[in-house]
Structures are given as structure tokens and as C-alpha cells.
Structure 1
């Protein structure tokens, strides 16, 4: 099993159609799959370079995962510790975890259209959030794009009130981008 430096073991779950879904740590060798999945899921303005994903993984790969079905990559999650209220650059080439990182930033969860509705995104999100809890992060936040705010609300995320600073960060993520957060009240 390729753990890509993560302390989280792979997770298997039964998939109603083909028998198994596997979640494992995302590694640099998976970046071609990430690029393919990204092209299937996002409009041109949201496509990030392989180098940008490599920089994110180099900064911290502990919270990033790949979903496979029948050994084919069908989804991924990229997340890393960050300071709540600050939004990392989209398609940046240099990332370092800030010393005041108090939250987990979910940069991206993407699932190919043919695997939507199978629970893949939920499994990726659950894996990211359980890993965050195990490392002491109670708050997760993200930027919802392409009209995804309703999806994230269904999974416990709420919009963050915007101030001028947050509005500047969100401008880079396109019209309608919404910063959202979820706090684990159990721990």
C-alpha cells in the first residue's frame, strides 16, 4: 500500500455496483490522475497545474487522498493546515504551512461525473475530516465554487461572514465563490 507519508491506512468500502471503493493517501505519482479528474470536473478558470498540486503535497500531504474504483482513480481530496480566514492562492506554486495554522483548509474534493452519486465524495470528505480530528483540528474551511455552496451546506458547512479581506481572497476564485466552515463540536 502506498501511504504517501500519511499515517492513515487505506479504507475500503462496498460499492453497490462494482464491489469496492478504495481511499488511499494521495502521492506525487497520482498527479496525472488528479489533472485528469480536475479537467472532467471544473471549468477552465479553476484548472490548476500539476506543479501547483505538487507544491501543495510538498507542503503537507497528510490530509490528501485518492479514491479508486476497480483500480481506476475516480476522485481526490486535497487539504492542508492553514490559518482560518486566509485563503491560499489558487494555482500557486509555493505553499508553506503557516505557523498560526489553526484549521484544516479543504482545497479541493473532486469526483468524476461517472462516479457521482456513489458516496465517493462523502467518503473522501469523511476521511479528510476524521484525519483532521485525529490531528487536533476541530475547524475545517473551504471555498465553494461553481455553485457548490448548497452541496457543502448539506454536509455541515456554513458560509463565513465576509469582510473586505476575505472578499479580496475570494475574488481570485471567481464570481459566486463562498468561504464556508464547519466546526466539530464533539472534541
Structure 2
């Protein structure tokens, strides 16, 4: 892929694409939330919600929000943005991550996840959590997430949904190791 890959905050002009990507990814699972709910999630935490550009194309998005550990957004309710931002640093919940179907399996989700991890680290978060849907738990396990069975009630996020989390890893050292210097 020769196109430049860039992760940036969601802008007003991105919503048609974000809604289309979300609809295509989640409608068949009965988990699509719709524009107003998606926008409420980004409005609740604009510094932790991003789009992925590949060249001039918006090719994916990620919505993450600060949520207490072992808690997660209700798919049928918009975020209450009137009360201000959610809880401070601690747990950053990865609510949605979607890459356009024709661009999957190229490592693009990894760009989004790496950006989110850096954001969580900069915020001072200790954990990143998510609800793995449609049997994707093994995918997330290979990325360091561990399951917490029984947190998500049956049917709340479809069948086979499981709450998972992982610690936010320490920042990689920018200094060379002693072996590299000697």
C-alpha cells in the first residue's frame, strides 16, 4: 500500500462515512447504533475518537470513551454529554473499531489501536477495555486482551459477546539499550 496512512480526530464532514462503515459492519449483527448515538459517543470524548485516512479516503474509524472498569456503553442509549466528560483517567473503553471491508487484513486496525494505546498512555489510563462481539474474542486475545466472563449480559451485544481488557503498556524507551551502545 503506497498511500499515506493517517489517524486523526473525527471532523464534522466525516460522519456520513463513519455512519456507513458502522452500518455495514454491525447491521447484520443487530448492533448498529445510528448516527445520533455514534455522534453522542464522539461528543462525550472527542479526544479519544478517530478516523483513519488512507490517502484521500476515510477508510476506518475508532470510538473510545472513558468508562469505569467493567462498564460499557448501552447500545440503545446516547451518551449524556450534558454532564461533561466521563470519568477521568483509569479505563479507556474501545467501543468501536471498523476498517472498510476492501482494506481489511492490511494492518490498518493496528494503526488505530496503536494510536489509541498512545492516547490512553498520554491520558494516564491504566487499562483499555472492549466488548468483543460475534466471536472475535480470540482476535482480541492475540492483541493482549483478557476476557472477563459474566460482565456483559446475554444478548446485550449479541451472542458470544465478552468484556475484555488489557493494561496500557509502558511507553517504549527512546533511549538505546546498553547492549546497543557498547
The TM tier, using the shorter chain, reads 0.7 to 0.9
RMSD of aligned residue pairs (Cα, Å) = 1.8
- Structure 2 Cα separation of the partners of residues 146 and 77 of structure 1: 18
| 8 Å contact kept, 1:84–1:101 | no
2:105 alignment partner, one of 104, 117, 121: 117
| Compared CA separation, residues 131 and 46, structure 1 to 2 (3 A) | same
Q: CA deviation at 1:100?
A: 6.6
Q: CA deviation at 1:28?
A: 3.2
- Normalization by structure 2: what TM-score? 0.84
Partner of 1:38: 22
- Normalization by structure 1: what TM-score? 0.82
Q: CA deviation at 1:101?
A: 6.1
Partner of 2:134: 146
| 8 Å contact kept, 2:22–2:32 | yes
What runs of 5+ residues in structure 2 fail to find an aligned partner? 172-182
Question: Equivalent residues in 2 for 1:174-185 (5 A)?
Answer: 174-185=158-169
Q: CA deviation at 1:40?
A: 2.6
- Structure 2 Cα separation of the partners of residues 28 and 79 of structure 1: 17
Secondary structure of the 2:37 match is helix
| 8 Å contact kept, 1:82–1:101 | no
Per-residue CA shift, 1:87-111, capped at 9, x if unaligned? 2111422335444763000001001
Secondary structure of the 1:23 match is strand
Per-residue CA shift, 1:143-169, capped at 9, x if unaligned? 00012111111111010142xxx243x
Question: Equivalent residues in 2 for 1:1-187 (5 A)?
Answer: 17-42=1-26, 43-96=28-81, 97-99=85-87, 102-162=90-150, 166-168=151-153, 171-186=155-170
| Compared CA separation, residues 82 and 70, structure 1 to 2 (3 A) | same
- Structure 2 Cα separation of the partners of residues 68 and 99 of structure 1: 29
